[in-house]
């Protein structure tokens, strides 16, 4: 469904599709089996502008928009969801807050290496005991001369195992949202990267725990105003949910392809199983839902590009698209029968990868809260 896309968007989509087909898909199974991060291919993506899609050209980015990012993430996710996670995090969770809240000096210092693939970034908000309740995070930033010292721990940090740049949210004041600030930092003394956390899916993506024990952050590491960190974190997630929705569409699109192809080629009772309505109807329903998910995702991206409020639209896109991804993976496994349950066929990997889209960057329950608050305002709190 591309009738409403601009010529530039179509070109971006075609470029991403070709790259995913030739450089990602052929290696996806091996990366997942080996739990390998495809850094070489990620750097190739940087050469195409995929790691800094909406970053202005003056900082080394592609100078495109949120719609372009959604199209790129979907195409890469269709080939390998794990690889698409790195793109989504680099763009939406690291470059985006720097663009939004960074000073000119911070943008000039931090964005070009991220755009060029010389550095990878991670977004450190979630903690072992603090997930959706972000206002109560415990990691602390204590004033130390002209700078700060970070102490605490973070959990489920995407890209954390190989990242060079970290956007860290820590408490600089009293309890509640107004006590949280954002910081830009690199690895250093007092910063420990934990082991890779074993996951159900996304085996080609890094997920770790981080520990801070007095990590020194200079004064110019404060990102945005002191006490405005949580506002920045939530604004960042508003955009990040659009890329997760795009990722979900990519997973669902691959699952649909797998189911259609298998039903066409698999013969039983004298012909292909695609002639049976019991096989046709779940796949047909899925095709309709996938189109709807894509339209919701592109609508949210278009609102963001227009500078209009897009929090609720992104929540709707993520809520719906993630459910479609899970359903699509289930339909693919069911269509393939025993082969769908085998790790030798792609349906099994899609089944494991799909579930996370209902969990990270806000669970489906959190998306419903965002939508409800948009409908009822303070009455929904």
CB of 191 closer than 8 Å to CB of 68: no
In this predicted structure, the answer to whether residue 3 has a pLDDT above a threshold of 70 is no
Query: Residue 82 to residues 28, 86, 229, 235: CA-CA distances in angstroms?
Result: 9, 7, 28, 24
Catalytic residue list = 361
State whether 107 and 167 are in the same domain.
no
pLDDT tens for each residue of 24-36: 999 999 999 999 9
State the pairing for strand pair 222-223/180-186. antiparallel
CA 21 to chain centre: 20
Q: Could you tell me the residue range of the domain that residue 46 belongs to? A: 7-120
pLDDT tens digits, residue range 164-207?
999 999 999 988 889 999 999 999 999 999 999 999 999 999 99
Within this chain, do residues 30 and 105 fall inside the same structural domain, yes or no? yes
The pLDDT value recorded for residue 381 is 74
Please choose, from the candidates 339, 359, 360, 362, the residue with its C-alpha nearest in 3D space to the C-alpha of residue 349. 339
For residue 131, what pLDDT is reported? 82
CA 201 to CA 165: how far, in whole Å?
24
CA distance 374 to 359: 21
User: Strands 121-124 and 165-171, how do they pair?
Assistant: parallel
Look at residue 129 and tell me whether its pLDDT is greater than 80.
Answer: yes
CATH number reported for the structural domain that contains residue 352 in this entry: 1.20.140.10
Shared domain for 242 and 369, answered yes or no, is: yes
Above 90 in pLDDT, residue 116? yes
238 shares its domain with 178:
no
Among 302, 307, 259, residue whose Cα is nearest residue 280: 259
Domain count, the chain: 3
Q: Give the pLDDT confidence score for residue 175 in this predicted structure.
A: 87
Place of tokens 């700078």: 147
Q: What is the pTM assigned to this prediction?
A: 0.95
pLDDT tens, position by position, 253-300: 999 999 999 999 999 999 999 999 999 999 999 999 999 999 999 999
CATH number for the domain spanning 60: value is 1.10.540.10
Q: Kindly tell me if the per-residue pLDDT of 134 is higher than 80.
A: yes
Phi, psi of 270 (to 5 degrees): 90, 10
* b/e sequence 131-166, b meaning 16+ C-beta within 10 Å: beebbebebebeeeeebbbbbbbbbbbbbbbebebb
In a domain, 115, yes or no: yes
Q: φ, ψ for residue 165 (rounded to 5)?
A: -120, 135
Give the pLDDT confidence score for residue 130 in this predicted structure: 87
Give the CATH number of the domain where residue 150 resides: 2.40.110.10
Residue 337 has a pLDDT of 96
The band of 1, judged by pLDDT with boundaries at 50, 70 and 90, is: low
Does an H or E element contain 212, and which? Answer: strand 207-217
Grade residue 350 by pLDDT with cuts at 50, 70 and 90.
Answer: very high
Residues 375 and 239 in one domain: yes
For residue range 58-88, list pLDDT tens digits in order: 999 999 999 999 999 999 999 999 999 999 9
**Contact criterion met (CB below 8 Å) for 314 and 242:** yes
Question: For 210, which DSSP code?
Answer: E
Q: Residue 379 has what pLDDT?
A: 79
Q: Is residue 317 part of a domain?
A: yes
Domain match, 284 and 219 both: no
The SS3 of residue 161 is coil
CA 278/CA 281 separation, integer angstroms: 6
pLDDT band at 133 (very low <50, low <70, confident <90, very high): confident
* Listed residues 120, 138, 172: the one ending a domain: 120
pLDDT tier at 6, thresholds 50, 70, 90:
very high
Dihedral of CA 42/46/49/53: which sign?
positive
Nearest to 244 by CA among 328, 314, 158, 348: 314
Using one digit for the tens of pLDDT, what is the confidence trace for 314-347? Answer: 999 999 999 999 999 999 999 999 999 999 999 9
Residue 358, pLDDT score: 97
DSSP notation for 302-329: HHHHTT---HHHHHHHHHHHHHHHHHHH
Answer yes or no: is 314 within a domain. Answer: yes
Check whether 371 has a pLDDT greater than 90. Answer: yes
Is there a single domain that holds both residue 238 and residue 355? yes
* Beta-carbon contacts of residue 104 (< 8 Å; ≥ 6 apart): none
Task: Kindly state the average pLDDT of the residues 116-131.
Answer: 95
pLDDT digits (tens, 9 = 90+) for 215-237: 999 999 999 999 999 999 999 99
Half-sphere CA count of 50, side-chain side, radius 13 A: 30
Q: Are residues 135 and 55 in the same domain?
A: no
- Nearest in space to 157 (alpha carbons), one of 117, 200, 116, 195: 195
CB within 8 A of 86, min separation 6: which ones? 37, 42, 120, 158, 159, 205, 206
Closest CA to 253 of 33, 84, 88: 84
Dihedrals phi, psi of 183, to nearest 5 degrees? -135, 150
**Alpha-carbon 26 to chain mean position:** 22
């Amino acid at each position: 469904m591309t009738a409403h896309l601009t010529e530039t968007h179509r070109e971006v989509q075609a470029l991403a599709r070709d790259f995913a087909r030739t450089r990602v898909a052929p290696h996806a199974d091996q990366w997942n089996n080996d739990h390998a991060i495809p850094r070489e291919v990620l750097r190739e993506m940087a050469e195409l502008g995929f790691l800094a899609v909406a970053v202005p050209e003056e900082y080394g980015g592609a100078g495109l928009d949120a719609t372009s990012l959604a199209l790129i993430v979907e195409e890469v996710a269709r080939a390998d969801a794990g690889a698409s996670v790195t793109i989504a995090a680099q763009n939406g969770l690291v470059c985006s807050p720097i663009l939004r809240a960074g000073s000119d000096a911070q943008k000039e210092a931090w964005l070009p290496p991220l755009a060029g693939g010389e550095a990878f970034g991670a977004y450190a908000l979630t903690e072992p005991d603090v997930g959706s309740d972000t206002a109560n995070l415990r990691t602390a930033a204590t004033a130390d001369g002209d700078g700060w010292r970070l102490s605490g721990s973070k959990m489920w940090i995407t890209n954390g195992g190989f990242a060079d740049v970290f956007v860290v949210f820590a408490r600089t004041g009293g309890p509640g949202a107004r006590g949280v600030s954002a910081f830009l930092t690199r690895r250093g003394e007092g910063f420990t990267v934990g082991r890779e956390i074993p996951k159900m899916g996304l085996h080609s993506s890094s997920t770790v725990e981080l520990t801070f024990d007095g990590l020194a952050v200079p004064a110019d590491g404060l990102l945005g105003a002191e006490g405005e960190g949580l506002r920045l974190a939530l604004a960042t997630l508003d955009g990040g949910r659009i890329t997760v929705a795009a990722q979900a569409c990519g997973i669902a699109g691959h699952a649909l392809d797998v189911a259609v192809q298998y039903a066409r080629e698999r013969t039983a009772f004298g012909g292909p199983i695609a002639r049976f309505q019991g096989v046709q109807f779940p796949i047909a329903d899925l095709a309709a839902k996938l189109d709807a998910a894509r339209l919701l995702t592109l609508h949210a991206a278009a609102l963001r590009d227009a500078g209009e409020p897009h929090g609720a639209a992104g929540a709707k896109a993520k809520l719906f698209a993630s459910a479609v991804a899970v359903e699509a993976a289930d339909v693919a496994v069911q269509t393939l029968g025993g082969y769908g349950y085998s790790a030798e066929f792609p349906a099994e990997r899609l089944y494991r990868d799909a579930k996370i889209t209902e969990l990270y960057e806000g669970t489906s329950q959190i998306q419903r809260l965002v939508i409800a608050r948009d409908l009822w305002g303070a009455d929904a709190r």
